[in-house]
Amino acid sequence: MPVAIFGITNDALNLVVNLLLLFLVVIWLALVWWTYADAKRRIDDPMLVGTAAVASLFPFVGTIVYLIVRPPEYLEDVRERQLEIAAAEARLAQLEALTCPYCEGDIERTFSEWQGSVFQQIRGATCSQCHMPQSTEMKPVANVPGAPLRRTHSHAFPGVDLALTDFPDKDNQKNLVEAFLATTLQTAICVEPFGGGSKVGVLLDNVATGHFWPSGAAQDRRAWFELVAYSGSNVVYQSGVVPDGTDLITGADPDLWLLRDCMFDAGGTEVHMFWEAADYESNTLPVKTTFDPASPDFYKTHKIRFFPPSGAPIVPQSGQIDRITLQVKIQPVGRDILDDLVASGDLDAGVRDAMPTLPVGGMLEWTPATATQTYIDRTTGGTVFCATNTNINVQADKFPAPVRTRCSP
Ligand code: HEC
């Protein structure tokens, strides 16, 4: 005898009602499970998850109430959002930490110099294309059977900075830097017979760097020009002649051509350390901005500087100038800066003494015989005789070398 629910005695109807009830029970149990599972994804507290599951035991209404009061987000989304906010905060903090407290003190400009140069354009070169040259051939790079052949990169990234204490591959590093420096500048010594003596100029083009030169810590670099003029064996003029490791700032000769950034504090006083800088003035050599010889900017990097800077002729007491030598040099960090750091107890004197003075290319020599190139001085109409080891175009437009006015030398 089948159980008569709701007093129904008709067998067929009874079966339908029984199935319906079974269906409702299954739905109810599924909802209890669903409520528990959903609550676990949204609620951190196991007590509350349990409460939600127990409440849903109250058929249907429990789950409906849960649906009304449940948290709107999954825990996973909440965690992801919190992570994103934390990451954004970390990025901001890093940016703030990288920004100088004085926003005007725009030192270490290598990247922005490159951005303003011809090299950031198509056909240009990235930092690594110049500093980490690629092999032209495909080579095995990984020591694994079947590894594909690839182009290899040098990872030496020579600039001017060298290890001063023990470091692997130290000598090779120095050779790479010197080789890199050797092709950086094109120079010429140009002499015009004038006023009973010789008007001596140096032509210069920054041809190889993808940024100004010197660059990077240009406030610490000391790049200068050692020029000596002879009459026979007598030195009749000289500038920049100092022993290696000399402080270039104190007691410099008045004609010294020293390339560097000067830095100033908010009151305009010259300072030595980059963390004191609110402002700077630079006379570093600009970078190329065009590869187009027809552009008026093409020769803007082509600089001229006279010795003495006024352009007055050098007049020997007897005879005439028959030989001039030029050697460009650079101290990666100036002796004056290092002396300061030693004095303040921040640097070991041994490190200071290990700082090299590097030659920038070889020595250039002017004699009437080596002065094979000429141009006409547009102001005097006189012929100028130039000697060069490079293919600098002496006849092209020349622009005065950048000068600083707020600090010297
Ligand atoms: C077109 C080639 C070229 C590109 C592009 C280039 N450099 Fe250089 N870089 C040079 C040459 C050449 C030197 C000069 C050699 C030297 O000073 O030792 C140099 C020097 C340096 C120095 C030493 C600083 C100094 O006063 O000489 C640093 C640091 C440097 N580069 C960083 C960079 C960075 C960073 C980039 C990219 C933003 C870059 N370079 C892009 C060629 C390049």
Judge whether residue 355 has pLDDT over 80. yes
For residue 107, what pLDDT band results from cuts at 50, 70 and 90?
A: confident
> Where does the pLDDT of residue 102 fall: very low under 50, low under 70, confident under 90, or very high at 90 and above?
low
Q: Does the beta carbon of 217 sit less than 6 angstroms from any atom of ligand 1?
A: no
Q: Are residues 185 and 301 located together in one domain of the fold?
A: yes
Q: From 272, 283, 274, 287, select the one nearest 112 (Cα to Cα).
A: 287
Q: What pLDDT does 33 receive?
A: 95
Coil, strand, or helix at residue 281?
A: strand
Atom of ligand 1 nearest to the CA of 183: 12
Which atom of ligand 1 lies at the shortest distance from residue 215's CA? 26
Which residues, including other chains, have CB under 8 Å from residue 130's CB and lie 6 or more apart?
119, 208, 210
Domain assignment present for 394: yes
Ligand 1 atom 20: residue of nearest CA: 159
Q: How far is CA 64 from the centre of its chain?
A: 61
Across all residues in the chain, what is the average pLDDT?
92
Whether residues 234 and 375 share a domain: the answer is yes
Question: Is 177's pLDDT higher than 60?
Answer: yes
Contacts of 147 (CB under 8 A, 6+ apart): 140, 141
Give the H/E segment covering residue 112. helix 110-115
Looking at the CA of residue 119, tell me the nearest atom of ligand 1. 5
* 222 and 370 fall within a common domain: yes
Binning pLDDT at 50, 70 and 90, where does residue 7 land?
A: confident
The answer to whether position 162 is within a domain reads: no
Say what the pLDDT of residue 80 is: 87
Same domain, 78 and 143: no
- Residues 81 and 114 both lie in one domain: no
> 312, 227 in Cβ contact below 8 A?
no
Say whether both 37 and 143 belong to one domain.
Answer: no
pLDDT grade for 103, boundaries at 50, 70 and 90: low
Dump pLDDT digits (tens) for 26-83. 999 999 999 999 999 999 999 999 999 999 999 889 999 999 999 988 898 888 888 8
Q: Is the dihedral of CA 152, 212, 241, 372 positive or negative?
A: positive
> Is residue 199 one of the residues assigned to a domain?
yes
Q: What is the extent of the structural domain holding 292? A: 170-400
> What is the structure's pLDDT at 110?
93
Question: Is the model more confident about 140 or about 352?
Answer: 352
What per-residue confidence (pLDDT) applies to 275? 84
Rounded to an integer, the average pLDDT of 12-27 is: 92
Q: Categorize the per-residue pLDDT at 385 as very low, low, confident or very high, splitting at 50, 70 and 90.
A: very high
Q: Which atom of ligand 1 is nearest to the CA of 111?
A: 38
Which residues, including other chains, have CB under 8 Å from residue 331's CB and lie 6 or more apart?
A: 221, 222, 223, 245, 248, 355, 356, 357, 358
Any ligand 1 atom below 6 A from CB of 209: yes
The total number of structural domains that make up the chain? 3
Classify residue 322: in a domain, yes or no.
yes
Q: What's residue 104's pLDDT?
A: 59
Confirm whether 184 is domain-assigned: yes
What is residue 3's predicted lDDT score, i.e. its pLDDT?
58
The pLDDT of 309-326, averaged and rounded, is: 95
User: Given pLDDT bands bounded at 50, 70 and 90, which one contains residue 232?
Assistant: very high
Q: What percent of the chain has pLDDT over 90?
A: 73
Q: Are residues 222 and 367 in the same domain?
A: yes
409 part of a folded domain: no
Q: Domain boundary residue among 122, 150, 178?
A: 150
Same domain, 177 and 197: yes
Task: Answer with the residue of higher pLDDT: 288 or 121.
Answer: 288
Give pLDDT, residue 142.
87
What residues contact 232, with CB distance under 8 A and at least 6 apart? 319, 322
| 219 and 262 Cβ atoms separated by less than 8 Å | yes
Residue 354 within a domain? yes
The residues, any chain, with a CB within 8 Å of residue 17's CB and separated by 6 or more, are 5, 6, 8
Q: How far is the CA of 2 from the centre of ligand 1 (A)?
A: 96
Task: Please say if the pLDDT value at position 210 is more than 90.
Answer: yes
How much is the pLDDT for 98?
64
Does 260 reside within a domain?
A: yes
Query: What is the average pLDDT across 214-243?
Result: 96
At residue 151, the pLDDT reads 87
Whether residue 216 has its Cβ less than 6 Å from ligand 1: yes
Task: Identify whether residues 235 and 328 lie together within a single domain.
Answer: yes
Residues 91 and 116 both lie in one domain: no
Residue having the nearest C-alpha atom to atom 11 of ligand 1: 209
Pocket test for ligand 1, best of 160, 173, 209 (most atoms within 8 A of CB): 209
Instruction: Give the mean pLDDT of 146-161.
Output: 90
Are 277 and 386 in the same domain? Answer: yes
Q: How confident is the model at residue 5 (pLDDT cuts 50, 70, 90)?
A: low
- Residues 141, 265: one domain? no
Per-residue pLDDT for 96 more than 80?
A: no
Which residue, by CA, sits nearest to atom 27 of ligand 1? 214
Question: Which residue, 272, 259, 246, is CA-closest to 353?
Answer: 246
